Structure 1
Amino acid sequence: MLQFPPWKLGLIFLVLVWGVILALPNVVNMSGAPGWMPKKGVNLGLDLQGGVYLMMEIQADEVVANRLDVLSRDVSSTLTTPQSDRIFNLPEVKGTQLVVRLTRPDADGNFRTGDALKRLEKLNGPVGGVIGGAQMYDMRISGKDTITITVPQAAEESLLKDALSKTMTIVRRRIDPEGVSEISITPQGNSRIILEAPGEPDPQRIKDLLNRDGRMTFNLVDASPAAVQAAQAGAVKPGYRLLTGDETGPLLVKNIPEIVGSDIANAAQGFDEQNRPQITFRLNGNGARKFYETTSKNTGKRFAIVLDDHVMSAPNINEPIPGGNVRITGNFTQQEAIDLAAIIEAGEMPAKLQFLDQRTVSPTLGQDSINAGYTAALIGLAAVAVFMMLIYGTLGFFAVLSLSCNIVLIFAGLSGVGATLTLPGIAGIILTIGMAVDANVLVFERIREEQGEGRSPWTATQAGYERALSTIMDANITTLIAASILYLLGSGPVKGFAVTLSIGIVTSVFTAYVVTRMITVGYMKLMKPKRFGI
C-alpha cells in the first residue's frame, strides 16, 4: 500500500505532467507552441461567452404535407409509365391529403381507378422499413376518378421523429458547415429543438439561415411570351407555375422538377472570371446522369435553378452538359454566397421551423459570470486549505497540494474531451473543490484513530489508507452514478454540470488517494516523523 516502485512514480508524474500540458492553453496563449502541444482550452458555453439561444418547433401537419408533396412526384411518374399505357392524372396536396384525380377516361368512359391504385400500392412501404409493420400511406378510391392518399397516426409519429433528427442535422450543417464551432443542438420533446450558438453576434443571420426551406430544384421553362403573359393575367398553364427572379423576371416553370436537392453532392462558395462571388456545386452520379439526359433532350430551351420558389438563374441549354458541375452567378456578396452554399449543401428542411423563443446573452454578462466563478473558486479553495491545515497540520498541507493537482486535472479533462464549460459547470468545479478532500478526511481520521492506539506513523498510515478505501470508492461510485443519470436525462447546462462533476470525481479519487499518499510516503521517508500532528 505504501510502496511506490519507480514505474509507479513515473506513471503518476506522467499523468500530472500531461494534465498540466492539456490545461496550459486555458491560462497561456499556445499559438506559438510546438505542433504536438494542444492549442485550445476549454470551450465556453453560451452563458459564459455570450451568444444566441433559440427554441424552434416543427409542425407535424407540415411534415406530412411535405412528405406527400414528394410522393406526388412519384405518383406522376408511376401513372405515366409505360408510355403505351399512360394514365393521365393530376396529383394535388390538400392539407394532409394527396388527392390524385385521373383526367382522361378510356373509350368506355372508365377512369381505371382500380388499375391506378394497384400501381400506387407499389409506392406504399412499411413504416420505418420494418417488414410486416404498418403501412406508410393509406390509399383509397374516393370517387370514380379520384384516389385519396393519407398518412396514418403511427406513420405520422415515425415521420415526425425522423424529421426532428434530420432537421437537427440540417441546422448544424447550415450554422456550422465546417464543424468547428461549439454550437449546441438538443431536442426537446417530440417536435422542438434548442439551439445555443456561443459567440454568435447576429441572431438575425441565424434565423435567416434557418428560415429558408433549402429546396433546390432544376425545372424546365416554357419561354413562350404568350404563355407568360397569360399566366400573369391569371391563366396559368396546367402543370406549370409562375415564378420570378432578381435577374430573370417572371418565368413559367414546370411543376415537376428534373433534378432535386437530393441529387446535389456538395456546394461551395467560389468566384467567377470577374472575381465576383458565385455558388458552385456538384451533382452526384444519379443527378449528373439525369442532368445530362435533360440537357440532351432539351437543347435550345431554358431551365430554371429554383431555390425556395425563387429563381436563382435561368440559363439557356446550348448543348448537353456532362460531368454534373453547375454554378450559379448573380449579385451576391461573399457572405450571401457562403450562406446560400451552406443551405444548398445541407439539404431541404423536412418542415419549416417556427421560432418560439429567442434570447441573446451579451459577452459582458458572460465575462462577469466567469469573474464571479473565478472569485468563488479562489475563496472556496482558500477556505478548504485553511481548514485542512488547521485540523490536520502537515497532512492537511499535502491534501491542499493534491487538491491543486485535482483542479489542474479537471481542466485538462475538460479540454481533452472537448467539453463545453457553462455556469453550472463552474458550480460543479466549485462543488468538486469541497468534495475533493472528503477522501483525505476519511484517511486522516483513520490515521488519527490508529495513532491514538499507539501505532507508528507508518503503521497508522498503512491502516488508514487500507480501511478507508472501500468507503471512498462507495461514496464516489454512487455520486458518479447520479452524475451519469443527470447526463443521460438532462440537457444543455445540466449535462455540462454532469460532465464537470464526473471528471471531478475521477480526478479527485486519483489525487486524494494516490497523489496525497505518494507525497505522504515521500515525506515520511525523508523526514522520518515520530508522530503526525493531527
Structure 2
Amino acid sequence: MLQFPPWKISLILGVMLWGTLMALPNLVNMSGAPGFLPKNGVNLGLDLQGGVYLMMEINPDEVVANRLEVFAIDVRNALSNKDGKPLIGHLSEVDGRTLNVRLTRPDADGNYPIDDAVTRIRKLNGSVEGAIGGAKTYEIEAASPQLIKVSVPATAEEALMKGALAKTMTIVRRRVDPEGVSEISITPQGNDRIILEAPGEPDATRLKNLLSRDGRMTFNLVDSSPSSIAAAEAGVVKPGYHLLTGPETGPLLVRDIPEVVGSDIATASQGYDDGNRPQINFRLNGNGASKFYQTTRLNSGKLFAIVLDGTIMSAPRINEPIPGGSVRITGSFTLEEAQDLAAIIEAGEMPAKVQFLDQRTVSATLGRDSIRAGIRASLIGLGLVALFMIIAYGLMGCFAVASLSANIVLIVGGLSGLGATLTLPGIAGIILTIGMAVDANVLVFERIREEHRAGRSPLTAVQAGYERALSTILDANITTFIAATILYLLGSGPVKGFAVTLAIGIVTSVFTAFVITRWLTVMWLKGFRPRKLAV
C-alpha cells in the first residue's frame, strides 16, 4: 500500500502529463501544435456559448400519407406489363390516410381485373420493421369492382412513427451539420417531437428555413401542350397530372407519379457552371440511374421536370438517352442558397414536414456571464475547501489540496479529450465534484488519526488508514457513478452534461485522492521520518 516503485511513479506522472496536455488548449492556442496534441478546448453548450433552441414535431397523418405516395410508385410498377403480365390501367391518388387505386380499363365484358390487381399489390405488402407479431405495413382491400383502397393499420403506424422520428433526426443533423463538425444536440421527446440545440448558431430563421423544407426531390414527366396547360389553369386538370410552376419556368402540367424519387439520389453537392455561377450537382444510385436512363430513352422530345418540394427547379427537354446518372440543377442561386439546397438534397426527404412548437435564442453575452459566474463559484468553492482541509489536517491537508488541483486539471483534460460538451449544469457538476473530491481524503485522514491515537507509528497508521478506508471509498463512489450513468442514459441535454462532468469527476477524484495524495504523503514520511502526525 505504501510502496511506489519507479513504474508506479512513471504511471502517475504520465496520467498527469496527459491531463495537462488535454487541458492546455483551454488556455493557449494549440493550432500549431504537433498532430498528436489536441487543437481545441472544451466544447461549450448552448447555455454557455449562445445559439438556437428549437422544438419540432412531425405529424403522423403526413408520415402515413407520404409513405402511401411512395407505395403508389410500387403499385404502378406492379400493375404494368412487366414480366409478361398484362397491363392493368389505373389511376392512383392519396386521399388523407388512404391510397385509392381506381382501375380504368375494363375487359370486353365490361369487368375490371380487380382480383388480379389486388393479388399483385398484396405481393408488395411486407412486414413493417419493428412491428409486433410481424404485422403487415398496409391493409389492402377491394372497396368496389373498380376501386382498391390501401391504408396503414394502427399496428404498423407506431413502428412507422418510430422509424420516421429516427430518420427525421438523422436528416436534421445532416442538414444543420453536413460536415459533422458542429456540436449540435438532437434529442427525441416522446414519439413525435425533436429538440435541436445548435450552440454558436446566431440565425434561428436560417435554421428554420433549412428544416422546414420537405426535401422531396422528384423527376416527373411533363405534358407541355398549351391546350392542356390552359385547361388546367381554368380548373380542368388532366387526370393523373397536376399544375406546378417554378422560378425558371412557367406553369407546367406535371405527372402525379414521378419517374425518379429522392431515395434514388446517392450524393449531392454545390458546384459551379461554366459561367462560374453556383449550381447543384448530384449523382443517382444504380437503381435511379437505370430508371433515369430508361425514362430519357423512351420519352425523347418531352420535358422532364426536376421538382423540389412542389416547385419546379428545372424542366429540361429530353433530347437523347442520358446514361451515368449525373444530373445538375442550374438557376439564379446565391452561393448560400446552392449550399443549403445541396445539403437538403444530400440529407434526403423528410418523412413528414416538421412543425416548430418552440424557439429560443440564447445570447453569447449570457453564456459569457454564466462562464464567469461558474469560474468564480469554482474558485470560491476550491478556496473554502482548501482552507478547511489545511485547518483540519495541517500538512496532510495541503497534500489533499494539491491532489484537488490535479483533479480539476484531469476533469478539464477529460472533457477536452473526450470531446464532451460543457453546459451550465456541467459546471455545477464540476463544483459538486470539488466538494466531493475531498470526501475520500477526509475518510482516510480520520482513519489515520484513529490509528495514530491508538499508538501506531506514523508509517503504519497511514498504511492502516488507507487499507481500511478503501472499501468505503469505492462503495460510495461506485454508487454515485451508477447514478451518473443512469442520468446520462435516461436524461437529455443539460442533464447529460451534468452526468458527464459528474462521472469524469468521480473517476478523477478517486485517482487523485487515493493515489496522488497517498504518494505525496509517503514521500514526506520516507523523506522526513516524523515521529508524530499533525492530523
Shorter-chain TM-score range:
over 0.9
Note if contact 1:303-1:316 (Cα within 8 Å) is conserved in structure 2: yes
**Do structure 1's residue 331 and structure 2's residue 332 form an aligned pair?**
yes
Query: Any idea what SS the aligned residue of 2:134 has?
Result: coil
Compute the displacement of 1:123 (Å).
1.1
**Taking structure 1 as reference, are residues 424 and 132 closer, same or farther at Cα in structure 2, changes over 3 Å only?**
closer
Match of 1:314 in 2: 315
* Matched letter for residue 237 of structure 1: K
Give the % identical residues.
72
Match of 2:158 in 1: 157
Match of 2:529 in 1: 528
Deviates more, 1:81-90 or 1:37-46: 81-90
Match of 2:176 in 1: 175
Note if contact 1:48-1:363 (Cα within 8 Å) is conserved in structure 2: yes
Query: Any idea what SS the aligned residue of 2:349 has?
Result: coil
- 5+ unaligned residues in a row in structure 1: which ranges? none
Query: Any idea what SS the aligned residue of 1:52 has?
Result: strand
The TM-score normalised by the length of structure 1 is 0.98
* Matched letter for residue 121 of structure 2: L
Cα distance in 1 for residues equivalent to 2:382 and 2:261: 60
Match of 1:449 in 2: 450
1:283-362 equivalent positions in 2, closer than 5 A: 283-362=284-363
Q: Deviations over 1:178-223 (max 9, x none)?
A: 0000000000111110000000000010000111000001111222
Query: Any idea what SS the aligned residue of 1:34 has?
Result: coil
Match of 1:364 in 2: 365
Match of 1:42 in 2: 42
Cα distance in 2 for residues equivalent to 1:290 and 1:142: 32
Compute the displacement of 1:301 (Å).
2.2
Compute the displacement of 1:146 (Å).
1.2
Deviates more, 1:182-191 or 1:518-527: 518-527
Match of 1:209 in 2: 210
1:359-438 equivalent positions in 2, closer than 5 A: 359-438=360-439
Match of 2:149 in 1: 148
* Matched letter for residue 449 of structure 2: R
Cα distance in 2 for residues equivalent to 1:293 and 1:112: 28
Query: Any idea what SS the aligned residue of 2:115 has?
Result: helix
Query: Any idea what SS the aligned residue of 1:54 has?
Result: strand
Cα distance in 1 for residues equivalent to 2:124 and 2:534: 83
Q: Deviations over 1:304-333 (max 9, x none)?
A: 111011011111222222221111111111
Cα distance in 2 for residues equivalent to 1:142 and 1:286: 33
Match of 1:78 in 2: 78
Note if contact 2:72-2:257 (Cα within 8 Å) is conserved in structure 1: no
Deviates more, 1:401-410 or 1:225-234: 225-234
**Do structure 1's residue 243 and structure 2's residue 244 form an aligned pair?**
yes
- 5+ unaligned residues in a row in structure 2: which ranges? none
Q: Deviations over 1:63-82 (max 9, x none)?
A: 11111111112112212234
* Matched letter for residue 81 of structure 1: N
Cα distance in 2 for residues equivalent to 1:409 and 1:129: 43
Note if contact 1:241-1:254 (Cα within 8 Å) is conserved in structure 2: yes
Aligned length: 534
Match of 1:494 in 2: 495
**Taking structure 1 as reference, are residues 423 and 319 closer, same or farther at Cα in structure 2, changes over 3 Å only?**
same
Note if contact 1:46-1:197 (Cα within 8 Å) is conserved in structure 2: yes
Deviates more, 1:383-392 or 1:487-496: 487-496
Match of 1:484 in 2: 485
* Matched letter for residue 146 of structure 1: L
**Do structure 1's residue 234 and structure 2's residue 235 form an aligned pair?**
yes
**Do structure 1's residue 507 and structure 2's residue 508 form an aligned pair?**
yes
Query: Any idea what SS the aligned residue of 1:85 has?
Result: coil
* Matched letter for residue 56 of structure 1: M
Compute the displacement of 1:111 (Å).
1.3
Cα distance in 2 for residues equivalent to 1:310 and 1:288: 22
Note if contact 2:131-2:159 (Cα within 8 Å) is conserved in structure 1: no
Deviates more, 1:476-485 or 1:108-117: 108-117
* Matched letter for residue 378 of structure 2: A
Cα distance in 2 for residues equivalent to 1:162 and 1:283: 24
* Matched letter for residue 473 of structure 1: L
Cα distance in 2 for residues equivalent to 1:394 and 1:268: 64
Note if contact 1:394-1:532 (Cα within 8 Å) is conserved in structure 2: no
The TM-score normalised by the length of structure 2 is 0.98
Cα distance in 1 for residues equivalent to 2:435 and 2:442: 11
**Do structure 1's residue 222 and structure 2's residue 244 form an aligned pair?**
no
Q: Deviations over 1:102-154 (max 9, x none)?
A: 12221112112122111111011112177962211111111121111111111
* Matched letter for residue 30 of structure 1: M
Match of 2:61 in 1: 61
**Do structure 1's residue 126 and structure 2's residue 127 form an aligned pair?**
yes
* Matched letter for residue 359 of structure 1: R
**Do structure 1's residue 263 and structure 2's residue 239 form an aligned pair?**
no
Q: Deviations over 1:390-426 (max 9, x none)?
A: 0000000000000000001011111111111000000
Cα distance in 1 for residues equivalent to 2:532 and 2:52: 59
* Matched letter for residue 302 of structure 2: K
Compute the displacement of 1:32 (Å).
2.0
* Matched letter for residue 529 of structure 2: K
Note if contact 2:130-2:159 (Cα within 8 Å) is conserved in structure 1: no
Compute the displacement of 1:36 (Å).
1.9
Cα distance in 1 for residues equivalent to 2:299 and 2:143: 38
Match of 2:118 in 1: 117
Cα distance in 2 for residues equivalent to 1:319 and 1:294: 10
Match of 1:4 in 2: 4
Q: Deviations over 1:3-50 (max 9, x none)?
A: 000011101100100110001111111112222211011110000000
CA RMSD of aligned residues (A): 1.3
Cα distance in 1 for residues equivalent to 2:291 and 2:142: 33
